[in-house]
Amino acid sequence: MAENIGIISTRLAGTDGVSLEANKWANVLEAGGHNCYWYAGRLDHPASRSMCVPEAFFNHPENAWITERIWGKTARTPMISHRIRELRAYLKETLYDFLQRFDIKLMVLENVLSIPMHIPLGLAMAELMSETHMPAIGHHHDFYWERTRFSVNAVNDYLDMAFPPRDHDLQHVVINQAAQEELARRKAVSSMVIPNVLDFENPPKPFDTYAADVRAEIGLAPDDKLVLQPTRVIPRKGIGPAINLVQMLGNPKYKLVVSHEASDEGPEYKDMLAGFARRAGVDLRFIITRVAETRHVNADGKKTFTLWDIYPHADFVTYPSMYEGFGNAFLEAVYFKKPILVNRYEVFARDIEPRGFRVPIIEGYLTPDIIDEVRRIIEDSDYRRAMVEHNYEVANRYYSYTVLRRSLRTLIANVRGLPL
């Protein structure tokens, strides 16, 4: 039986991890006959199937005013509480409108009840569930207790109440085992682990004419080796070891290319990396001006590429992150059949590595054996091909849409007693 399903978050647009995973869930749900509708403060979905409420965006001025006054503080004023209550009440009205407009029967709540980027929206959502008994699935990508910035706050009462709430009609989903254990310890609620996935049943298509000149467009020679770091430029992504890797490989034809921007972390880390690479003799290229969410022409009159236009041209991928909630870049490299270097971050060690992937792994630093292994992977095409084909098959077994479809079927059966 088809259901109208409402997908709700602060932002459902662009290429952030929450938006990408929400789209994957929607693809699987709609392939199963359900209808998905969207509610958020930022959206890139058709207006006929969505409701955009600007105040629901975590960077809306009203929420930004609240946020500035509740984190890093231990008390809040009556005015702050009043503003939170006012915005909560308004957002709850819009949520009721959304449910009525699209005749929603089941909600999927994307991170809105886990990371407290928007306290009023989380409170509104928790109250709505208490008032309506609307069945819901909370898809939790990360929690406030996983982020140091939320450890000192003036809203512990709200965090206890709504992030996430203990609601009998709410099924909890987390993306790794550590989150499942910590959620049970802190909130005494059970959850299902559903990892991030990709459509491994349908391999990526070869790059088209538009993306055929990626290497030339970013200034690489035909015989250069493109070592791709497909992450934002922030300290926890571990770009320093990637620079060390290219330095120790000792081949000037190896170019390290970083695809994403520094986000809101500021330019200091990027400038430090640039200086480090210069002193190490590593050709480091930040190509954020040439990478966008969609293909278009930038302000300099040059065409931009999506990250998925870049992957097919990579010879090797570096992913020495110190912390990840899961690791989308790992799955993407496997999907495009690219070899990848991984730092053994906690979630990788517990959830991903036991699956049997064949990848060079570091423990925060490089060894001569790892350097030799990476050099062989890049230069020995038969060795590399056997590795990436094996990894693709492992990922297809554990991280495909088939896995997601099976998990969603179980969830919906639990919450509604209906087949997917």
Domain ranges for the chain = 4-197+401-416, 214-398
> Among candidates 155, 153, 149, 80, which has minimal Cα distance to 122?
155
CA–CA separation, 25 and 23 (whole Å): 5
The 10s digit of each residue's pLDDT in 175-202 is 999 999 999 999 999 999 999 999 999 9
Domain 4-197+401-416 has CATH 3.40.50.2000: yes
Residue where the block lists tokens 């910035």:
149
Q: Which residues pair with 144 in a beta bridge?
A: none
| CATH class belonging to 214-398 | alpha beta
74-118 pLDDT per residue, tens: 999 999 999 999 999 999 999 999 999 999 999 999 999 999 999
In this prediction, residue 420 has a pLDDT band, given cuts at 50, 70 and 90, of very low
pTM of the model: 0.89
320 within 8 A of 238, measured Cβ to Cβ: yes
Would 4-197+401-416 and 214-398 be classified into the same CATH topology?
yes
165: closest CA among 209, 133, 205, 197? 133
What pLDDT band is residue 135 in, cutting at 50, 70 and 90?
very high
d(CA 202, CA 58): 35
